[in-house]
């Protein structure tokens, strides 16, 4: 029982990171209107941007997070220019294939530039553990986990405010719902889509550095599985709903960690993708309620 | 080029969809403060005309002048920012945005609006459409068809435009609501806006229009004063079911 509860805490923390990944992913898909497979590489670039900040300036977490956001944001610009801008009116599979190609390119270039080996990311957050006694059950919560969860909540809250309370946010949501109508509102759709894509990428970059801190390592090939997990999580919200994507991320985190508690750690991904397949079988359109929406 | 009372002038406009030509050299002009209507049956090219004026459809040939400026090759969002409002066919409101957010989205089309002016414009919409005020927090997609049409029009008015182009505002609405919509169009004209109205409901449209154009197979086959067209035997036979 104690072990399960501790795994639940681990799952919550990892789920929070997955939630951030999924939020970024659904922002991209929502605003651009096309599925992306470069997301894992964007996260990896974010993680490496932060890694070099750690190398150069020591373990400065706020600065590293800014660097991760900025690095991923810039890669977002490149991906947008190469994979989306020319293909808004083309069949969707063209930009989809394009993102797969760019993903391979970035991954391999990264292996040349950053080196193929896994690099350690150590002691960014002080290794301290808080012990909570809950009716005779001993729960160990790491400072790292608290920092991660708080950070994800703050970022998600900021994003929600941005989307709901600012003109930029309304423009982004308008573009994600109907591009032609958005043009007729005088919105520069291409620029807005670019910015939405980059904001989503930036969030992915931050998720990348959080994963590196969580696993104490960063490598050029880290992106692949996470890209698929971000996709799996946002399937819950039909790929575009931010709240359901976050929930999906949280679910995957918890399912993975409880799953490996009853099996072995090597089966981690089985549970994540089992969840994806299950959701796709039951409700491929996602769980967003369409009630009250007449079109 | 265009004289100063002409708000919108279209010269020899042609549009092709692939190998199919949708418009073959149409010309029309809209003067300050007028209600102009463009009538025609399904597939005559009415919507295409509006889409190419506002820059959403590519033009093969021809020139469009708006307030004396050549907007033929301008991007749609920049045309909107010059003061042209296009309320698209099928309403195209943002279903997951609330009514209020839809209105704010409309105000994005005019960057010169101040916060106070936006608030005034919203009050103005409430006066025109008291129903919207009741539904201000609801998602746009949850409104009825007529309410959505009203929202689409007031979303367009939120940019305080010089010209309002309405694409089939009566489509799919109950007759009693259609009357409301046409009364509203007159009110919008009285607010000092110029109106280009596209309609299949020819009798209603011609009865409120100053001038009208009849579009058939991508060509303008007739033009004249609203009442004259209404009395024309050929128009009667083809569009008024008489």
In this prediction, residues B200-208 reach a mean pLDDT of: 89
Nearest to A181 among B78, B94, B104 (CB): B94
Look at residue A289 and tell me if it is in a domain: no
Rounded to two decimals, the pTM is 0.88
In sequence order, what are the residues at sequence separation of 6 or more whose Cβ sits closer than 8 angstroms to the Cβ of residue A122?
A216
What ipTM was reported for this prediction?
A: 0.89
| Phi, psi dihedrals of residue B186, rounded to the nearest 5° | -65, -40
Q: Which domain holds residue A228?
A: 2-282
Mutate to test the interface with A, among B50, B105, B143, B162 (most CBs of A within 10 A): B105
**Residue A290 — pLDDT band, cuts 50, 70, 90?**
low
Look at residue A75 and tell me if it is in a domain: yes
Q: Which of A170, A176, A230, A253 is nearest to A46 (CA)?
A: A230
Look at residue A295 and tell me if it is in a domain: no
Nearest to B105 among A170, A189, A294 (CB): A170
Tell me which chain A residue has its CA closest to the CA of residue B154: A185
Look at residue A146 and tell me if it is in a domain: yes
Tokens standing for residue A178: 């109907």
Tell me which chain A residue has its CA closest to the CA of residue B53: A184
Helices A39-57 and A2-32, interaxial angle, to 10°?
110
pLDDT in tens, B143-173: 998 899 999 999 999 999 999 999 999 888 8
| Separation of alpha carbons B57 and A76, rounded Å | 29
CA A181, A185, A188: angle at the middle one, nearest 5?
95
Distances (CA, A) of A224 to A106, A255, B181: 12, 20, 54
pLDDT computed for residue A289 by the predictor: 57
Mutate to test the interface with A, among B76, B85, B86, B149 (most CBs of A within 10 A): B76
Three-class DSSP category at A24:
helix
pLDDT in tens, A66-112: 999 999 999 999 999 999 998 988 898 999 999 999 999 999 999 99
| Separation of alpha carbons B52 and B167, rounded Å | 13
| Separation of alpha carbons A263 and A192, rounded Å | 46
| Separation of alpha carbons B204 and B195, rounded Å | 15
Tokens standing for residue A222: 């880290």
Please identify, in words, the CATH class of the domain defined by B1-83+162-242. Answer: alpha beta
In sequence order, what are the residues at sequence separation of 6 or more whose Cβ sits closer than 8 angstroms to the Cβ of residue B149?
B91, B169, B173, B177, B181
Tokens standing for residue A229: 């997990």
| Separation of alpha carbons B108 and B156, rounded Å | 10
DSSP state of B136: T
pLDDT in tens, A260-278: 988 888 888 898 889 889 8
Residue A171 Cα, gap to closest chain B Cα (Å): 6
Nearest to A178 among B94, B101, B159 (CB): B94
Number of domains in chain A: 1
pLDDT in tens, B176-185: 888 888 999 9
Q: Which of B199, B222, B173 is nearest to B41 (CA)?
A: B199
pLDDT computed for residue A280 by the predictor: 87
Distances (CA, A) of B131 to B96, B127, B128, B149, B179: 19, 9, 9, 12, 16
pLDDT in tens, A149-208: 999 999 999 999 999 999 999 999 999 999 999 999 999 999 999 999 999 999 999 999
**Residue A239 — pLDDT band, cuts 50, 70, 90?**
confident
| Separation of alpha carbons A177 and A200, rounded Å | 17
* A170 chain-B contacts, CB cut-off 8 A: 97, 101, 104-105, 108
Helix count and strand count (H, E) for chain A: 11, 4
Residue A291, pLDDT > 50, answer no
**Contact between chains at B80 and A183 (C-beta distance less than 8 A):** yes
In sequence order, what are the residues at sequence separation of 6 or more whose Cβ sits closer than 8 angstroms to the Cβ of residue B134?
none
Nearest to B86 among A170, A177, A184 (CB): A184
* B85 chain-A contacts, CB cut-off 8 A: 184
Sole residue written with tokens 């110029």? B194
Three-class DSSP category at B69:
strand
**Contact between chains at A293 and B75 (C-beta distance less than 8 A):** no
**Contact between chains at A185 and B104 (C-beta distance less than 8 A):** no
pLDDT computed for residue A224 by the predictor: 87
pLDDT in tens, B57-107: 999 999 999 999 999 999 999 999 999 999 999 889 999 899 999 999 999
Tell me which chain A residue has its CA closest to the CA of residue B106: A185
Three-class DSSP category at A22:
helix
Other beta carbons within 10 angstroms of residue B203's beta carbon come to 15
**Contact between chains at A177 and B94 (C-beta distance less than 8 A):** yes
Q: Is A34 left (phi over 0), alpha (psi -120 to 50) or beta?
A: beta
Look at residue A118 and tell me if it is in a domain: yes
Residue B240, pLDDT > 80, answer no
CA A58, A21, A169: angle at the middle one, nearest 5?
100
Residue B235 Cα, gap to closest chain A Cα (Å): 32
Tell me which chain B residue has its CA closest to the CA of residue A175: B94
Distances (CA, A) of B151 to A102, A295, B70, B130, B225: 42, 13, 30, 11, 30
| Separation of alpha carbons B146 and B170, rounded Å | 9
Residue ranges covered by each domain of chain B: 1-83+162-242, 91-160
pLDDT in tens, B211-228: 999 999 999 999 999 999
Tokens standing for residue B192: 């000092």
For A31-54, letters b (16+ CB in 10 Å) and e give bbbbbbbbbbbbbbbbbbbbbebb
pLDDT computed for residue A276 by the predictor: 87
| Separation of alpha carbons A68 and A20, rounded Å | 14
Residue B2, pLDDT > 50, answer no
């Amino acid at each position: 029982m104690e072990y399960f509860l501790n795994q639940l805490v681990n799952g919550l923390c990892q789920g929070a990171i997955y939630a951030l990944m999924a939020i970024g992913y659904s922002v991209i898909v929502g605003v651009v209107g096309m599925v992306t497979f470069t997301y894992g590489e964007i996260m990896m670039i974010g993680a490496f941007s932060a890694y070099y900040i750690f190398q150069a300036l020591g373990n400065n977490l706020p600065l590293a997070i800014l660097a991760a956001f900025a690095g991923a944001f810039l890669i977002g610009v490149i991906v947008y220019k190469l994979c989306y801008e020319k293909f808004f009116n083309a069949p969707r599979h063209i930009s989809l294939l394009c993102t797969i190609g760019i993903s391979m390119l970035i991954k391999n270039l990264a292996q040349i530039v950053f080196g193929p080996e896994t690099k350690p990311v150590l002691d960014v957050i002080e290794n301290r553990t808080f012990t909570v006694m809950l009716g005779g059950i001993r729960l160990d919560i790491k400072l790292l986990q608290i920092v991660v969860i708080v950070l994800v909540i703050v970022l998600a809250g900021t994003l929600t405010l941005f989307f709901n309370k600012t003109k930029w946010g309304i423009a982004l949501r308008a573009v994600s719902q109907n591009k032609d109508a958005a043009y007729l509102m005088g919105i520069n759709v291409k620029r807005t889509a670019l910015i939405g894509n980059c904001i989503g990428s930036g969030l992915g970059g931050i998720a990348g550095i959080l994963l590196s801190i969580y696993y104490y390592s960063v490598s050029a090939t880290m992106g692949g599985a996470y890209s698929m997990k971000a996709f799996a999580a946002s399937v819950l919200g039909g790929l575009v709903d931010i709240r359901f994507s976050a929930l999906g991320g949280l679910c995957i985190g918890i399912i993975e960690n409880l799953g490996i508690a009853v099996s072995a750690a090597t089966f981690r991904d089985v549970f994540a993708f089992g969840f994806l397949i299950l959701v796709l079988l039951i409700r491929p359109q996602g769980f967003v309620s369409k009630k009250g929406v007449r079109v | 080029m265009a004289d100063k009372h002409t708000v919108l002038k279209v010269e020899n406009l042609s549009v092709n969809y692939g190998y199919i030509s949708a418009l073959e050299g149409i010309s029309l002009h809209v003067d300050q403060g007028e209600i102009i209507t463009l009538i025609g049956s399904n597939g005559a090219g009415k919507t295409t005309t509006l889409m190419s004026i506002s820059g959403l459809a590519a033009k093969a040939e021809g020139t469009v002048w708006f307030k004396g400026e050549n907007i033929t090759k301008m991007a749609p969002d920049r045309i909107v920012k010059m003061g042209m409002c296009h309320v698209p066919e099928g309403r195209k409101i943002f279903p997951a945005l609330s009514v209020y957010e839809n209105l704010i989205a409309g105000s994005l089309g005019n960057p010169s609006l101040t916060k106070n002016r936006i608030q005034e414009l919203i009050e103005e919409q409430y006066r025109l459409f008291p129903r919207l005020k009741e539904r201000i927090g609801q998602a746009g997609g949850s409104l009825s068809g007529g309410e959505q049409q009203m929202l689409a029009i007031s979303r367009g008015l939120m940019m305080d435009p010089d010209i309002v182009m309405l694409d089939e505002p009566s489509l799919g609405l109950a007759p009693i609501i259609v009357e409301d919509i046409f009364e509203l169009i007159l009110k919008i004209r009285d607010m000092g806006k110029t109106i280009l109205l596209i309609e299949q409901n020819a009798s209603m449209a011609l009865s409120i229009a100053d001038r009208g154009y009849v579009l058939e197979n991508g060509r303008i086959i007739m033009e004249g004063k609203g009442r004259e067209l209404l009395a024309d035997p050929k128009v009667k036979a083809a569009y008024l079911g008489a």
